[in-house]
Amino acid sequence: MQASFPTVLWVDGYNIIGAWPNLKKLAHCSLMDVARLRLVESLASYVAFRGYRATVVYDAYTQFTPARQERSPSGIEILYTAYGETADACIERLCAQLQADTYRVRVATSDRVQQWVIGGYNAEWISAEQLWAEVQEAQEQIRCIKPKRLPSRRGIDSYLDAETLSRLNRWRLSGRDPIH
């Protein structure tokens, strides 16, 4: 019997933005902040539904900015690399640091070289298109989940057992003060 490990998903943010048509369009319209936000929003229900821990990595390769880390309201970690570091290098470092015998590691990028490198760390590679398909499939499965039905009655009687209801009705009909 194979042990079940928690799954960690690392996403090469700009690579995915450049591959998903809706995000690519935003990026081309100089709306990169919106594209980054939409990527994280798209991943939120997917990772929650699958039970994954996710990190989206954006590189600051040519930007003179320090590395920084954020967490989205949905719990997705967002990493911005430091000047001179690519998202690929960051993801490779994370793969090397993580214990492969403790976690299932998945890396989402369409970078073919990255596919070979992360394979050396026993991480699974998924393309941008495959990630898109998995996100869509999860959203469809979530839509098909039937919500729990509320009791058909809305009054207090829907929350009380039969004996308590009977006692309350007898008291109500008698017109007496229940305390005296």
CATH of the domain at 38: 3.40.50
Give the least confident one: 64-68, 142-146, 174-178: 174-178
Distances from the Cα of 38 to the Cαs of 2, 9, 24, in angstroms?
36, 17, 11
Residue 158 inside a domain? The answer is no
Most confident stretch, 88-97, 98-107, 125-134, 163-172: 125-134
Question: Where is mean pLDDT largest: 22-26, 110-114, 144-148?
Answer: 22-26
In a domain, 100, yes or no: yes
* Average pLDDT over every residue of 153-179: 73
How many structural domains are present in the chain?
A: 1
pLDDT tens track for 102-131: 889 999 998 888 878 888 888 999 999 999
Residue 110's domain spans which residues? 7-144
Whether 86 maps to a domain, the answer reads yes
Cα–Cα distances (Å) from 132 to 16, 29, 107, 108, 173, in that order, read 9, 21, 13, 10, 63
User: How far is C-alpha 94 from the chain's CA centre?
Assistant: 19
Domain-located, residue 60: yes
